[in-house]
Amino acid sequence: MPELIPNMLNWFTKFVKEINKIKRIFPSAIKLNKPFYKTMITEMLGALLIPSIKVKNYKLMPLNNRTKSLIMQIVGTLSNITELTLSRGQVYITSIEIEDNIMYLNKLKKFEYKYGCTNGIIMVLGEHCKKLRELNFRWSKKVGTLCIKDLLKLTKLRNIDLPNSNITIYGYIKLLKNLKLEKICWFSTIDEILDLVPQRNLNRITSISCYTNNPTLLVRKLPRITELTLHNADTDMSALGKMSSLKVFNLIACYYKKIKFAHSIARLGEHLVELRLFGIIELRFTDIIFSCKVLKTLEIDTCQFHANSDVDVRSELPHFESLESLKLVNCGHTDEYVNLFGHYAALQRLHVQKVKAFSDMILDDAITSGRLNNLRELIVENCDFTNSKHVISAIKHSTHLQTFGNLQKMKCFEGEHGEGIKRDVRATTLDLTLISEADDYICTNMSSYRF
């Protein structure tokens, strides 16, 4: 009965909405019977959400001595599931319980258990889960070289995420030599691995996350690479511009000028679709604007922008006509660039956090002028939003907006306007988003809020 769980979840959603209505009308009744309602909702969540096997939903259950083993007992009965993710810090489940139940999941294709995975769990996976393609046990110190023989039994594995486990570099090389892996994830220097693994094995690699002192070796050894995540680069990386197949580039923690990023982005920009920059010092945003002709996703997090007041960035705006998703978090010296957001006509998702230069007036002007007519999702937090009228105007004029986030964290909603918004939004937080039914300030087609 595959349709049973979704139908019951829909019923449960309606039930919680009714409880919320009772809570608003008769708050004392709920308060008086709080233990009853809490127990009932907890048990129903346990019965409904867990069989739907989005295991991250386990966080929604207030676990105690009665329910701590319920999770793996239910998992063990669901032999048809293909993905299993155990959340970080699930110390309430012992490794023995996990081993006893995952042995029945012979259709499993993806397993993730960060921090808490063990050699024993890997041994069970190797014996019983032969269809496994993705395995993630990052930061699991109890997984070491002893489990290599068990990992080699998983011949269909294409991705093993193992940084900060106790598997040595030589154990990882053995895996790369004997399995048909398509991704490499290694936080230490990758150069020795590239030298010791046969080229025929490296030809399969399409994604790599690493640190390197030799970008030329990276280019030469990985001809089919489409996604690159580079950590803590401190040497000239201009050779990366030769990676003609690269579509996704993530750069983490480096000095922009020292690695000569402008040289590599000038060539990569012709075909780069996604670019994410984290912790970059002296970032020259104009280089990205000028170079990236087909970019669809741009994320810039905790970067220090280089002042470029002498450059007319508006003259190159057509180069960002393809941008669909923009995320800007905790960046300095962005004053001259935030006014440009309203010119990216293809933009569907805009996420701005801790950027004081981004104001409610800029947002209102960009949306009411019709330049951001395609915007579907807008998340704003800790920016210069002080006038609720501008925000409400922007929301009203957003014809396609479906998600607007972090209203509660905006100072402009602390007064009467904030109460008005909250009064008009009837919602439940079942899936950690708020479902809007408002028809006053909010567009009728808006489907969710994030707080």
Each domain of the chain, given as residue ranges in start order, spans 1-48, 53-181, 186-323, 337-451
pLDDT at 261 over 80: yes
pLDDT top residue among 143 and 379: 143
pLDDT value, residue 157: 97
Q: Please write the tens of the pLDDT for every residue from 307-327.
A: 764 455 555 556 678 899 999
Q: Please say if the pLDDT value at position 337 is more than 60.
A: yes
Q: Tell me, what's the pLDDT at 396?
A: 74
What average pLDDT score do residues 137-141 get? 93
Residue type, position 239, single letter: A
Buried b (16+ CB within 10 A) or exposed e, 256-269: beebbbbbbbebbb
Whether 23 has a pLDDT exceeding 80, the answer reads no
H or E stretch at 262? helix 261-268
| SS3 state of residue 277 | strand
* Percentage above 90 pLDDT, the chain: 37
pLDDT of 12 strictly over 80: no
Least confident of 62-71, 168-177, 198-207, 331-340: 62-71
What is the average pLDDT score of the chain?
A: 76
Q: For position 100, what pLDDT does the model report?
A: 85
Round to whole Å and give the CA distance between 253 and 426.
42
- Mean pLDDT, residues 64-89 taken together: 62
Q: Which of the two residues, 15 and 356, has the higher pLDDT score? A: 356
pLDDT, residue 31, reads 53
Q: What pTM was computed for the model?
A: 0.77
Residues 271-300, mean pLDDT to the nearest whole number: 91
Q: Which of 20-24, 82-86, 363-367 has the lowest mean pLDDT?
A: 20-24
Asked if residues 380 and 407 have their Cβ atoms less than 8 Å apart, the reply is: no
Q: Which range is most confident: 4-8, 275-279, 405-409?
A: 275-279
Higher pLDDT, 28 or 146: 146
- Grade residue 395 by pLDDT with cuts at 50, 70 and 90: confident
pLDDT at 402: 73
Q: pLDDT at residue 220 above 70? A: yes
Tell me, rounded to whole angstroms, the distance of Cα 308 from its chain centroid. 31
**Which pair of structure tokens corresponds to residue 19?**
């409880």
pLDDT at 331 over 80: yes
Listed residue (440, 302, 429) closest to 45, CA to CA? 429
The stretch 17-40 carries a mean pLDDT of 56
Q: What is the mean pLDDT of residues 193-219?
A: 95
Query: Which pLDDT score is estimated for 143?
Result: 96
Report which residue type is found at 180: K
Q: Comparing 16-25, 29-38, 167-176, which segment has the lowest mean pLDDT?
A: 29-38
pLDDT mean over 13-31: 59
pLDDT over 90 (residue 246): yes
**Given this model, what pLDDT does residue 9 score?**
53
Domain 53-181 part of CATH 3.40.605.10 = no
Within this chain, domains 53-181 and 186-323 share the same CATH topology: yes
State both tokens at 36.
């009853």
More confident residue, 352 or 228: 228
Whether 351 shows a pLDDT value over 50: the answer reads yes
The yes-or-no verdict on residue 198 having pLDDT over 90 is yes
Give the CB-side neighbour count of residue 301, counting CA atoms within 13 A. Answer: 11
* pLDDT class of 121 with cuts at 50, 70, 90: very high
Of residues 364 and 200, more confidence is placed in 200
Question: For the domain 186-323, what is the CATH code?
Answer: 3.80.10.10
Q: What pLDDT does residue 368 have? A: 83
Report the pLDDT averaged over residues 18-25. 61
Please tell me which residue, 65 or 251, carries the higher pLDDT value. 251
DSSP state of 440: S
How confident is the model at residue 178, as a pLDDT? 97
In which element (H, E) is residue 27 found?
A: helix 27-32
Residue 13 in this model has a pLDDT that exceeds 70: no
How far is 400 from 367, CA to CA, in rounded Å? Answer: 11
